[in-house]
Amino acid sequence: MSNIVLQLPYEDQQKVQAYYVSSRVERNAPGVIFAAKLPDTAITVYKSGKVMFQGAGASREAAKFGTAISQTTKTNNTKGDSLPSNFSSLSVIGSDETGTGDYFGPVTVAAVYVPADKIALVEELGVKDSKQLTDDYMRRIAPDLMEVCVHSILTLRNDKYNAIQEKGNSQGKIKALMHNQALKHVLNKMAPQKPDYILIDQFAERTIYYNHIKNEGEIVRENVLFSTKAENLHVAVATASILARYAFLKEMDRLAKTVGFPLQKGASGKVDEMAAKIWLKYGEDTLRSMTKWHFANTQKARNLMKKKQ
């Protein structure tokens, strides 16, 4: 299905609406100000000025109003599988994770399905590379994204993370297991519908990833692609990144209530000092339950605590 997007000034948006007024349909989706349906084309006008034409007649209808926004897939400085040239406009499940480098807080993984006909809507809701977005902004837009997209979010709290890690499982294996599980959940929710592709934000080579999950009863393999910086390649991965971060922040909020103050993100010297403070006040069991205990921060916090005693 063709998917063409124009960016039009206000006057031209009005012309589009007037032209298709007799074919108008109701669409109660965020950001949509007008929608019309022809036998072979759907037309949607968004508050941002983007106008999307979808269907067999998309090229014909779009040509009446302007030139399409380039949707060339960004591939600069990425590593992984080669993607189709029109990948950014296809129906894709994207998956991403966060929290793996943070001493405090969980590992979270999200998988999200964004079909071609929702790409413009998801972009209208504010999705772009989550590294360009603030935590507060992601908190605001995540609920709307969860409402419009089929998704799965997994949160591995640190008590369970530590138990799994202490059995000899690497963080890479833990992430692979979570990605596979999240993807299964989304595919099950979509069934019998299937995406064009699945794109995993690459944290391990394909062979290593599948070796990690080789003992799983059900392994997602069909049309799976891997790429670094995948949030720049399809809005589905960018959305997954935002939802994973949202889940991470919610768990950090819960942990903050336990100790009475916000927790430092990352794994810096400030984290060591905060960990030592918590250890002294609440004890080892409490600190262990909210941290990735195998990180070097644990020994550094122990050393700081001894100095303060």
Instruction: Round to whole Å and give the CA distance between 45 and 188.
Output: 32
For the chain, which residues make up each domain, given as ranges? 3-62, 87-254, 267-308
Bond before 192 cis per omega within 30 degrees: yes
Q: Which residues touch 8 (CB under 8 Å, ≥6 apart)? A: 16, 49, 50, 51, 65, 66
Q: Which CATH architecture fits 87-254?
A: 2-Layer Sandwich (3.30)
What letters, b where the CB count within 10 A reaches 16 and e where it falls short, cover 199-223? bbbbbbeeeebbebbeeeeeebeee
Q: What is the pTM of this model?
A: 0.79
Q: What's the first-to-final CA gap in the chain, in angstroms?
A: 68
What is the pLDDT tens value at each position of the chain, 309 positions in all? 567 888 888 888 898 999 999 999 988 777 788 999 999 899 998 888 888 888 888 888 988 887 655 444 444 567 888 898 889 999 999 999 999 999 999 999 999 999 998 998 998 888 865 566 889 999 999 999 999 999 999 999 999 999 999 999 999 999 999 999 999 999 999 999 999 999 999 999 999 999 999 999 999 999 999 999 999 999 999 999 999 999 999 999 999 999 999 999 999 999 999 999 999 999 999 999 999 999 999 999 999 988 876
- Domain 3-62 classified CATH 3.30.310.10? yes
